[in-house]
Structure formats: structure tokens, C-alpha cells
Structure 1
Amino acid sequence: MHDLNGKRVAILATHGFEQSELEVPLQKLREAGATVEVVSPESGEIKGWDKKDWGRAVPVDRALDGASEADYDALVLPGGQMNPDTLRANETAVNFVKSFWNAKKPIGAICHGPWLLVEAGIAEGRRMTSYGSIKTDVINAGGLWEDSEVVTDQGLVTSRKPDDLPAFCAKVAEEIAEGKHERRL
């Protein structure tokens, strides 16, 4: 994995995030040297969903209301069904995602996480993948959906499911190491 010393990464999540989709990128990016913070509209801690039942809680490092894209080099959006569905209805969360895209900073989204990309207007014209059940949502938003383990399009990294986490984390780290990405229209 790339050396990410000096890089700062936000993981945007709320209750119901898929356990491994938050914890594995958090661990892998920290192991690569990045400072990683869990950003949430909730305070204290948020509880994960671990396959078929509630999982472990993780501490929230920064309240969404006090977070700014300027404080970070990249953004990671874990999935789970509840987490991105709740966040896409939160205007502050959607604007937070948009701000990273507008600043040309890498964004990684896994499983249902691309719902936030759809809501933020980022999917249109972008090569992406996602959990199969939201494929139609991505396509209806103008995304160019692919059934691939990981898809990268100019700093936007998407992946399908927890089994794809090793490849997802490696590609997100590579994009963070590369820095800002020019975007085609």
C-alpha cells in the first residue's frame, strides 16, 4: 500500500454502516500512515451493522457540522443499506460529499455508498460500480455502471461489496497518494 504519511482522510458515516466497510478502510489507511477521522451527523459513537444484526460501535472523531473538505485530502463512503440512505437525505452530508468532488479530491464509495454520489450529482458520466441492488439508481443518475470489483474514474473509486475491500483499499490509497485529480466535464 502507498505511503500516506501526512494525508488526512474523512470517513463519512452514521448508524447502520456496514461494519467491515468502515473498519477495514479505517485500519488500512491508518496503517499506511494517514490520519483518518470518522465524521458523522451523530456525536459520541455510531453503531455498525454486521451482516445480519447490529454490530460494534465506533467513536465519532468529528461532527459533520464542524467538518470541512479543506481539512482532508480524501473522503471514504462506507455502505450498508441504512447508512448511505440516511445520509443522502441529509443536506449537510450531501454538500460535504460535493465539496470533495468540487475540490478534485479522491472519493471512495463501496456497496451502497454510491447512493451519496448519486444524490450529490457526481454519478453522471462517471464509470462506477456498486452493490447490485442500486445498479439501476446509478444508471438512472447517468452513471456508467460496470460489474467489476473496483472501478476508478479520475479519483472516484467505487466497489461492490465487502469481499472487494482489499482491492478497494489499495486503489483508494493509490488515489490519495496521487493527490488532486483533474476532472473532465
Structure 2
Amino acid sequence: MAICHLASLSPSPFIRFAPKRLFLSSRAFPSSLKNKSFSATTMASAVQKVLVPIANGTEPMEAVITIDVLRRAGADVTVASVEKQHQVDACHGVKLVADTLITDCVDSVFDLISLPGGMPGAATLRDCAILESMVKKQAADGRLYAAICAAPAVALASWGVLKGLKATCYPSFMEKLSSAATAVESRVQKDGHAVTSRGPGTAMEFSVALVEHLYGKDKADEVAGPMVMRSNHGEEYTLREVNFLEWKFKDTPQILVPIANGTEEMEAVMIIDILRRAKANVVVASVEDKLEIVASRKVKLVADMLLDEAVKLSYDLIVLPGGLPGAQAFSNSEKLVNLLKTQKEANRPYGAICASPAIVFEPHGLLKGKKATAYPAMCNKLSDPSEAENRVVVDGNLITSRGPGTSIEFSLAIVEKLFGRQKALEIARTMVFTKP
């Protein structure tokens, strides 16, 4: 039950800022955003304050990608729970810990308020009177507000802040949206001070568009480049496979995803979320001495168990997210390295993304005789970088990938190896990663 009550609102010292004109890039953004001009709330070089509210049932990819990308740009992002406690149980069993409660944000002014989707999370956000009042004030004062997936239709439309504007949302909510806005099928739509988007598979495009609005094209390009984003949004994913090997499992595949302080949160959450969508049994294990870890962009994630407990089990697949400090923690974990070596020796699948192939697998002999890829700046550490330019590489029982912007492709490739390409494409369409 959400804690938001209108009676708890106190007068807020909102400040109106003079607008500055900015323009979205015509490259790497949807056509609905091209040639659109709009105002930023402060100087593009200033630190922008952003609020991302979360609730039980929030879609974790949409929340975490938004937080991560905006923090990469230098934004001061506050993650606020609209529940009675800081920890929320997001969709697909992902546990997130907010920075604060929404009641503590009443007197703050934000340059952007961005709502993730997911059900029933979007409905809980809608029913939060504090959040509703803040977003209505945001719209009235000409400051940026945004929502993705179910949230544009369920929350923004019901609050009346999309009236007369073009907006988009998750495909199955388009009819609901059309009663309160001009519904369009753009992957990202900007109109007035509202930015909307379609689902988990458009969350990275959505987040980079928010960066460009707040900071300008140069900053958006600076943030997008290192993430290794796709240029062909909406198209089917591809993978490079050599030495074909069928991945086998009994009943339900058992998958281990370790996390550590400094793990790249986008990569971890996308892997966990997508594999659980495929109905795999995913165990999230902390290599630290407690369940809660602080990821690379300060997102707080809660594991299912400690690695000490997780190593007692057997897995059909072990898959490592990246993030340099997290990968170093994995490499320094004797228990995890031994588990990975046992996995390889048993010819059972294992994989990694971003820094982890180079920092964990390579020095411990887990890439010997294998083709692999890694984060571009670390491919020179690979003993065989001949396939490193590919976004996803499968070599027998090994799968590797490049970075945050390849995480969905990486996860879908795992689904394909376990359940077949049709299942992977079905999930891709459901997430609006590919065209629905």
C-alpha cells in the first residue's frame, strides 16, 4: 500500500526557471523527435535534479536504465519509494532500494520527474497523491516530465497532463492513452514538456533523449557512445555463433547471476529480468558479505542469497554482468572463480558481458581456445579478439557481449540458446525491443 496522501502535502517553494532552447539530434533518435525544439529548465552545463519514483511492481529495467543513464550524464537523480519502506519488490523478483521516500521530496524542485512503468507499479504511482500533485505542478511550471510503458496511460493521462499532446505508451495501453492524448506509435515521443516511450526495449533510447533535453546533443552523444547502443532500433537482434553446441537442461534451467558492489546495474537487471521473463529460475547471489549491494551508478540492488550459499547449488548457466569494480570483485572471489572453472570443465554454459570477459574470464583461463568479445576498451586484453567486433559471440558453451547497450541482445541470445529463437523473439516483441 502506498504512503501517499494529499493531506501530507506542505507548501512547496517551487521556482520558475528561464528557458533555454535546445534541439534533439537528428541522428540516433526516433523520427518523432527530429527537428523538434524545446526548452530546458536551466543552463545545460548545470547539474540537473531528477526524481524517479518507484513502487512495488515497477518495471526494473525501465527504472534502472533511466537512473543509470541520467547519472552517467551527471544528473542528481533521487530515487523515491512511494511505499512505506525504501525497499520495493519490482517486477520479476528484482529488489530495489530507494534513496528516500516520496514524502521527503515534497519541498524539492526537480528539473525532470520520470515515471517508470510496470504493473501494478504504474497504478500505485497514479494513486500517490503527493506524486500526482508534484507532476501537475511540474507541468504547470513548464518543467520536464516523462513516463514510459504503462505509466503514460495509467498515470500521466489520468492526471490530465497529456491533454492536447502527442504521446506514446505500451502497445496494450494505447486505447486508454487515446482518450486523454493524441496517441502515436513512436518509440520515444516528445511534445511540449512531456516525453513518453513504449516499454523496456525502448528505455535506453528514452533515457538518452532525456539526457539530450537536459544537457544537449553533445552530452547525449558522450553518454550514448560508451554504452555501445544499437543504431537499428526495432530490428531483430543478431548473434555470432561459432562451434555450435546445443545447451541442454532438465525441466527449468537454473541460472546464477552474481552481483557485487560496482556491478553495472543496467546489465545485471536486464539479464535477470529477461531470463525470468523466459521462466528460467534465476538465482541472484551477492559476492559481498551482505545481500544489498551498491552498483556502479549507486543503484541499490538486493540479492536473493549470498554467494556462500549459492555455490552449494548446481547451475545450467552462470552469467556475469560487467562494471569494472564489480568484475574485479568477481575475479577476486576464489569461490566464484572455482565455480566457473567447474562449470567450464563440465562443459556447462557460462557467460559474461562488458568488463567481465576480460577481467574475470581471461586471467583465469576461462577463454582458453575460445572466441569472445568484451567492452571495446578492454578487447586488447583478450587472447583471441578475432570476433570481438560482434555484439554477441557464442562459442560452444561460452557467450560474451560488449556493454550496457548490448545487454538485451545478450540476454535474448541466452534465451535463444535455452528455449529457441521464437521464444526469444516473442520476448523481444513483448518488451518492444523489436517492433510489436
Question: Which of 263, 269, 273 lines up with 1:17 in the alignment?
Answer: 263
Question: 33-42 vs 17-26, which deviates more?
Answer: 33-42
Q: Confirm or deny that 1:49 pairs with 2:284.
A: no
Paired residues of 2:392 and 2:399 also in contact (CA < 8 A) = yes
Question: Which of 398, 404, 412 lines up with 1:162 in the alignment?
Answer: 404
Superposed CA offset, 1:21-47 (max 9, x none): 100010000010011111122222111
Amino acid at match of 1:150: V
List aligned pairs for 1:166-181, cutoff 5 A: 166-177=408-419
Q: Which runs of 5+ in 2 are unaligned?
A: 1-248, 421-436
Q: Higher relative contact order by CA 8 Å / sep ≥ 6: 1 or 2?
A: 1
List aligned pairs for 1:24-39, cutoff 5 A: 24-39=270-285
Q: Confirm or deny that 1:81 pairs with 2:347.
A: no
Question: 33-42 vs 64-73, which deviates more?
Answer: 64-73
1:119 aligned residue? 363
Report the Cα distance in structure 2 between the residues aligned to 1:69 and 1:76, rounded to whole angstroms. 17
Superposed CA offset, 1:32-91 (max 9, x none): 0011111122222111123xxx2x221121222222375321111000111011221221
List aligned pairs for 1:90-105, cutoff 5 A: 90-105=333-348
* Cα RMSD (Å): 2.0
Higher strand proportion, which one?
1
2:379 aligned residue? 135
CA offset at residue 119 of structure 1? 2.9
1:182 aligned residue? none
Tell me the TM-score normalized by structure 2: 0.37
Q: Which runs of 5+ in 1 are unaligned?
A: 179-185
User: Which of the pair has more CA radius of gyration?
Assistant: 2
- Secondary structure in 2 matching 1:39: strand
CA offset at residue 161 of structure 1? 1.1
Amino acid at match of 1:46: I
Paired residues of 1:108 and 1:172 also in contact (CA < 8 A) = no
Report the Cα distance in structure 1 between the residues aligned to 2:258 and 2:385, rounded to whole angstroms. 22
CA offset at residue 144 of structure 1? 4.5
List aligned pairs for 1:56-75, cutoff 5 A: 56-68=299-311, 70-75=313-318
Taking a change above 3 Å as real, the CA distance of residues 156 and 69 of structure 1, as seen in their structure-2 partners, is farther
- Secondary structure in 2 matching 1:128: coil
Q: How many residues align?
A: 169
Taking a change above 3 Å as real, the CA distance of residues 103 and 62 of structure 1, as seen in their structure-2 partners, is farther
Report the Cα distance in structure 2 between the residues aligned to 1:37 and 1:66, rounded to whole angstroms. 11
Amino acid at match of 2:403: K
Paired residues of 2:318 and 2:351 also in contact (CA < 8 A) = yes
Report the Cα distance in structure 2 between the residues aligned to 1:18 and 1:149, rounded to whole angstroms. 17
Report the Cα distance in structure 2 between the residues aligned to 1:19 and 1:158, rounded to whole angstroms. 17
- Secondary structure in 2 matching 1:119: coil
- Secondary structure in 2 matching 1:109: strand
